[in-house]
């Protein structure tokens, strides 16, 4: 029996990979942010302050950890309205041990040269990876970039396909079409949902930008090493509401389970014409057509909230 699993073995851990505190342009302190997310049932958080690196691992708890991180902007020439915001997250202990450049330190400023061409961005990504980090491209729709602006970039592990702050405040946070454009062209990137929250409005306000987009990682334990390994293996899903419990392929049959939703869709490199629609749909089982290069699944609840799997690649069978 041939089985391809979308998730690793382990337990589920919910996290926000992108947030800002009073250290940069947010209105909550780092302590307040961690307390708020822990209270909401999250297990981890990445403090991604603008243009400097933070590491609060000394404040990790058994049931809640922070991932050392930063969001770095590359300045564009006058009149170029694109934005290149790269999200840097510390890798595993092995990444740090094998780093060929000096790893980043807590509160270290990260500045990069002004945009010349795509090599400017690639040099930054390569530099961060050489320092033992993993790198994600932030809010591509809000950044006014197209697939052509990303297709040649290497060493990215993911792009934000949902950025809650950008979506909630400007209707520019959903990048799943751009994600599919890249996937169809062979660019293997995982998709994440994040908050990118600044909390300039109180947490209990419907206008607040927290708790709207998250990842749920299936990992062997709650530790930086295990979470990063799972992220790099695509053992997570992204959500703005629904929960996903299972995603695998057994003998060319797709098996998927989730919390009650109205719609489940199989998407891939071509029209799949496969879906389940109803009042409380929780399962999906159908045979593949046999020509797919990859598939991913999106489920949507009655409130319009979505959850997204990462792709399972099938073009190597």
| Residue 113 scores a pLDDT above 90 | no
- Enumerate the β-bridge partners of residue 158: 136, 190
The percentage of the chain sitting over the pLDDT mark of 70, rounded to a whole number, equals 99
Q: What does pLDDT average to over the chain?
A: 95
Q: Which domains, ranges and CATH numbers included, belong to the chain?
A: 11-240 (3.20.20.140), 241-317 (2.60.40)
pLDDT tens-digit map of 132-174: 999 999 999 999 999 999 999 999 999 999 999 999 999 999 9
> Which token pair is 149?
């602006």
CB-count burial class (<10 Å; 0-12, 13-18, 19+) for 181: middle
- From the list 264, 270, 251, the residue with the least C-alpha distance to 301 is 264
pLDDT reported for residue 1: 59
Spatial neighbors of 64 by CB under 8 A, at least 6 apart, are 34, 37, 38, 42, 43, 44, 45
């Amino acid at each position: 029996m041939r089985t391809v699993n979308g998730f690793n073995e382990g337990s589920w851990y919910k996290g926000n990979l992108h947030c800002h505190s009073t250290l940069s342009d947010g209105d909550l302190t780092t302590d307040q942010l961690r307390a708020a997310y822990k209270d909401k049932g999250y297990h981890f958080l990445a403090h991604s302050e603008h243009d400097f690196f933070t590491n609060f691992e000394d404040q990790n708890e058994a049931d809640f950890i922070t991932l050392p991180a930063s969001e770095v902007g590359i300045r564009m020439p006058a009149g170029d309205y694109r934005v290149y915001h790269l999200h840097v997250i510390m890798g595993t202990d092995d990444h740090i041990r094998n780093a060929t450049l000096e790893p980043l330190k807590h509160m270290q400023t990260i500045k990069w040269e002004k945009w010349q061409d795509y090599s400017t961005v690639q040099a930054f990504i390569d530099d961060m990876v050489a320092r033992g980090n993993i790198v994600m491209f932030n809010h591509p729709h809000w950044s006014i970039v197209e697939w052509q602006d990303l297709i040649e970039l290497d060493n990215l592990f993911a792009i934000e396909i949902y950025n809650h702050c950008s979506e909630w405040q400007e209707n520019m946070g959903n990048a799943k079409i751009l994600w599919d454009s890249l996937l169809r062209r062979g660019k293997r990137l995982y998709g994440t949902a994040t908050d990118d929250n600044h909390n300039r409005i109180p947490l209990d306000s419907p206008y607040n930008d927290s708790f709207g987009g998250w990842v749920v990682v299936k990992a062997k334990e709650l530790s930086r090493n295990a979470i990063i390994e799972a992220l790099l293996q695509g053992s997570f899903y992204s959500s703005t509401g629904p929960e996903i419990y299972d995603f695998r392929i057994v003998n060319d049959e797709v098996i998927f389970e989730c919390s009650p939703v109205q719609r489940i869709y199989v998407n891939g490199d071509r029209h799949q014409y496969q879906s389940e629609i109803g009042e409380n749909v929780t399962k999906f089982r159908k045979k593949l057509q046999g020509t797919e290069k990859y598939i991913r699944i999106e489920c949507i609840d009655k409130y319009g909230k979505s959850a997204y799997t990462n792709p399972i690649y099938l073009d190597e069978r």
